[in-house]
Amino acid sequence: MEDRRIIKTFDDLVSIYSPSFGERDLCDCLKAKLEALGASVWEDNAGDLIGGNCGNLCAFLPGELPGPPILLSAHMDTVEPAFGKKAVFNGDTITSEGSTILGADDASGIAIILEAIERIKESGLPRRSVELLFPVAEEKYGLGSAVADYTKLKAKEAFVFDLEGEIGEAANAAPSIIAFTVSIKGKASHAGFAPLEGIHAILAASRAVSRIPLGIVAPGLTCNIGTISGGKARNIIPEQCDITGEIRGFDHGAALEALEATKAAFEEEAEAIGATAIFSHKIEITAYETLAESPATLRFRRACEAEGLPCRIHKTLGGSDNNNFFLHGIEGLVLACSMHNVHSARESASLAELEKCVQLTARILTEGTP
């Protein structure tokens, strides 16, 4: 019975087109499922704030065990191509039909949360109070959870279902991700007749790029120049050169230092030849680390042990809603929840893994320690 129910839930969720900024239909479906579970449900105004058709969906389910609520979270949006996606069940494996993503990222997470709560209800076991947050636009650097209304949340611990890997794996740290753009302005002139009258924007850019350490520039710190474009024609000194790049670092301060050094390289090299460099950046997401002795980490370890699952906690290079939760005083982990080859048409999930993760989640919510 339970097996069939999670298959149906997963199938329902996957069949709904829910791109970032267009999560309305999924949200309405989920709202109905949560209300059927007896949760009090509300939606915040994130959609208005970020230009989507839907807010973050929140819910509360009071429990019998003492202690503040535990926050469970999985995001409602998916990447593209997702239109018309459909889950294909083949033995234990679930895939898409081949031309779209599957959307196990993050339908697996949502289905696991719903099923775990149903299971506990049926078992009659007492559980902790639960807050649920289903953010929009996670795939856009957590834009939805960045503007969520945290005043209504009381949880201090979060479990975010949004990671590739074996069940029992979790991420306890993610980096700051800082995007930057540089626009170098020189002066155009004819490359043959008047080369000395031009100011070579590409020359300034290339000197700067050659100065900037790229790749792994320190442990836990990466820097990349991702695009560069400039110039109008073979025989014109290029007036303009535009560059984009990013810095990722587990230490937010170190990432900011690398950003400053990058900015200085472009500004100095531009100035050296009489060009100007306009540098701008955006902190897409801010680094966090949930420590080994944090209540969420300890709870997860105990639950894995009780379920006989090997527990493996590590850092990840990708951001998630958990980065934003941490900024609001909620310390959590991102849990592996049966999603593989995400953001590709080869994405898959597994029924056995979904089941394992349901059990693990039920254990997290029903163990006695506040």
Q: Which residues bind Zn ion (CB under 5 A)?
A: 105-106, 162
d(CA 307, CA 311): 10
Could you tell me if 331 and 300 are in contact, meaning their C-beta atoms sit under 8 angstroms apart?
Answer: no
**Least distance from Zn ion to the Cβ atom of residue 112, Å:** 13
Distance of closest approach, residue 106 Cβ to Zn ion, in angstroms: 5
> Residue 131 in contact with residue 60, Cβ under 8 Å?
yes
Nearer to Zn ion, 110 or 296 (CB): 110
Question: How crowded is the C-beta side of 338, counted as CA atoms within 13 Å?
Answer: 26
Quote the least distance from Cβ 251 to Zn ion, whole Å.
Answer: 24
Closest Cα partner for 283 from 329, 319, 331, 309? 319
Q: Which residues are within 8 A (CB) of 291 and not within 5 positions of it... i.e. 6 or more apart?
A: 172, 297, 331
Within 93-249, residue ranges assigned H as helices are 104-123, 143-146, 201-211
The candidate with the shortest Cα–Cα distance to 75, out of 323, 241, 369, is 323
Q: Which is nearer to Zn ion, 75 or 299 (CB)?
A: 75
Shortest approach of Zn ion to residue 342 CB, angstroms? 7
**Residue closer to Zn ion, measured from CB, 96 or 183:** 96
* Sequence-ordered alpha helix ranges (H) in 276-343: 295-307, 321-327
Q: Which is nearer to Zn ion, 139 or 267 (CB)?
A: 139
Give the residue from 184, 139, 192, 188 showing the smallest Cα distance to 320: 139
Rounded alpha-carbon distances, angstroms, from residue 87 to 34, 100, 114, 349: 22, 10, 18, 10
Distance CA 31, CA 111 (A): 13
Report the nearest approach of Zn ion to the CB of residue 79 (Å).
8
Pairing of strands 40-43, 215-218: unpaired
Residue with smaller CB distance to Zn ion, 27 or 270: 27
Given the complex with Zn ion, which of 9 and 78 has the nearer CB atom?
78
For residue 182, CA distances in Å to 85, 149, 233 come to 38, 34, 21
> Nearer to Zn ion by C-beta: 176 or 316?
316
Structure tokens at 46: 């994130």
Residues 338, 108: contact at Cβ < 8 Å?
A: yes
Of the two residues 279 and 325, which places its CB atom closer to Zn ion in the complex? 325
Shortest spacing between CB 317 and Zn ion, in angstroms: 14
CB of 88 to Zn ion, least distance (A): 20
Instruction: Give the DSSP letter of residue 310.
Output: P
Write down the least CB distance from residue 190 to Zn ion, Å: 52
User: In the complex, what is the shortest distance from the CB of residue 105 to Zn ion, in angstroms, rounded to a whole number?
Assistant: 4
When the beta carbons of 129 and 290 are compared against Zn ion, the nearer one is 290
| CB contact at 8 A, 120 and 47 | no
